[in-house]
Amino acid sequence: MNDSENLIHTFDVEDVRADFPILNRKINGMDLVYLDNAATTQKPRHVIDALTRYYEETNANVHRGVHTLSVEATDAYELAREKVAGFINAPRPETVIWTRNTSESLNLVAATWAEEHVAKGDNIVITAMEHHSNIVPWQQLAMKKQAELRYIAAGKDGLLEMSNISKIIDSNTKIVSTTHVSNVLGTVNPVDELTRRAHEVGAVVLVDAAQSVPHMPVDVQAMDVDFLCFSAHKMLGPTGIGVLYGKYDLLNDMSPFMFGGDMILEVTYEDAKWNDLPYKFEAGTPNIADAIATGAAVDYLNNLGMENVWRHEQELTAYALEQMSALASLKIIGPKDPTLRGGVISFMHDSIHPHDLGTGLDQLGIAIRTGHHCAMPLVRSYDVVAAARASFYIYNTKHEIDELVNGISETAGYFNS
């Protein structure tokens, strides 16, 4: 019996599944098996109700009125910020900035802090397993500033090559921007080690936590990262809203990203003064309803317990790796050790294109992702242009993994007949 089989759940997966209306759907006459959670997660009734309740009972603008609806909306909006701050153990709510998504959060740091601190001859360090959103902004900034963009290589084992990290991150490094968990390989990167080295040379650290915050306990103070970002829709929340956490002093010294209402203290015909944190970075009417629904998603996950969520996913990942590895036709990329990865498994079939495989599985009601997963350089490093990806969350079961494995075999039989 392996360690994953010894895990004891403190939440009932069937009870969890009952909270998600979409899991009652039939796709092509088959029960939905949703294994595309790295792209977006499904929403529990608790979150859906929070969203509709705002529009039915409290709809008003925030920070702009003294009437009851505006006060209630403002209170709910700011309470959601406090919930998110507590979820990642941010030291104060004003260090949590609402954005549209992880991509905007990354771009915000590149366009403000990095724009003001990176100069000719400096270097920016990222890893070879980044999402395009954590590559392209740094490419553009490096070209603009005549700075060097450096990559920490990833080995074929799916792990970062850390042996020469002291040479890559050096006295000319201004920022290290890394994914916490790879959306292709599932690798859990050594953020603590990267942060220690970056701080030794006076660099700041930005973490793309889109694939970690929804799945495992994340403590920004314990990690000592300078910036961290994630999206609500990957953690049971709505689309169109994300989070940027930053250390207070760094955020306070940064220039605004956008200009408009609510991010100002005073405007004259000649000049303007900026508002305090966090509003300095939240110009215009914010995404009020989705912020409140994000707070509801945090409540739901807190009720389950993030340690329990992580254990559940590790158990599923270990089982999936074992079952999928038994198919000789599959090549799985990423760490072989399930304790080194999150619930993301990318794979290629030796005779079926990923898009064909994904289409065949869809006919069986099984939803996976196919393509380059917004990480073209990484996927191409495996000498392919696309991969299939299965990714797990709180409502997935071992039975669904069995359905995936059987579905791959059935689809292969169809294409190879």
Angle at 214 (CA atoms; ends 213, 218), nearest 5 degrees: 30
Structure-block tokens of residue 187: 């690798």
pLDDT exceeds cutoff 50 at 5: no
Per-residue pLDDT tens digits for 141-176: 999 999 999 999 999 999 999 999 999 999 999 999
Count Cβ neighbours within 10 Å for each residue of 243-266 and write b for 16 or more, e otherwise. Answer: bbbbbeebbeebebbeeeebbbee
Q: How confident is the model at residue 201 (pLDDT cuts 50, 70, 90)?
A: very high
The residues spanned by each domain of the chain are 3-45+305-415, 48-303
Q: How confident is the model at residue 4 (pLDDT cuts 50, 70, 90)?
A: very low
Answer whether 3-45+305-415 and 48-303 agree in fold.
Answer: no
CA-CA distance, 52 to 42, in Å (whole number)?
16
| C-alpha to C-alpha distances, 151 to 116, 164, 386, nearest whole angstrom | 22, 11, 22
In one-letter notation, the amino acid at residue 124 is I
Percent of the chain whose pLDDT exceeds 70: 98
Helices (H), 262-397: 288-304, 306-325, 354-363, 376-380
* Phi, psi for 20 (deg, rounded to 5): -115, 100
Looking at residue 37, what is its pLDDT? Answer: 99
Contacts of residue 210, Cβ cutoff 8 Å, sequence gap at least 6 = 102, 131, 179, 183, 229, 230, 231, 234
Looking at residue 9, what is its pLDDT? Answer: 54
Determine the average pLDDT of the residues in 235-261.
Answer: 97
Looking at residue 414, what is its pLDDT? Answer: 87
Looking at residue 6, what is its pLDDT? Answer: 40
SS3 of residue 350 by DSSP: coil
Percent of the chain whose pLDDT exceeds 90: 93
Looking at residue 1, what is its pLDDT? Answer: 32
Q: What radius of gyration do the chain's Cα atoms show?
A: 22
**Range list of β-strands (E), 65-209:** 96-99, 123-127, 148-152, 173-179, 204-208
In which order are the strands placed within the sheet that holds 123-127?
96-99, 242-246, 227-231, 204-208, 173-179, 123-127, 148-152
pLDDT exceeds cutoff 70 at 2: no
CATH topology of domain 48-303: Aspartate Aminotransferase; domain 2 (3.40.640)
Looking up tokens 């509003």 gives: 279
Per-residue pLDDT tens digits for 271-307: 999 999 999 999 999 999 999 999 999 999 999 999 9
Start-to-end C-alpha separation, the chain: 37
Structure-block tokens of residue 159: 């792990």
CATH topology of domain 3-45+305-415: Aspartate Aminotransferase, domain 1 (3.90.1150)
Looking at residue 11, what is its pLDDT? Answer: 87
Per-residue pLDDT tens digits for 43-90: 999 999 999 999 999 999 999 889 999 999 999 999 999 999 999 999
Catalytic residues: 374
CA-CA distance, 178 to 339, in Å (whole number)?
20
Name residue 27's beta-bridge partners.
30
SS3 of residue 230 by DSSP: strand
What mean pLDDT, rounded, does the chain reach? 96
Peptide bond into 278 cis (omega under 30): yes
* Phi, psi for 185 (deg, rounded to 5): -90, -20
Q: How distant is the alpha carbon of residue 350 from its chain centre?
A: 30
Q: How confident is the model at residue 7 (pLDDT cuts 50, 70, 90)?
A: very low
CA-CA distance, 35 to 210, in Å (whole number)?
17
CA-CA distance, 22 to 415, in Å (whole number)?
30
SS3 of residue 235 by DSSP: helix
CA-CA distance, 38 to 257, in Å (whole number)?
28
Contacts of residue 305, Cβ cutoff 8 Å, sequence gap at least 6 = 10, 11
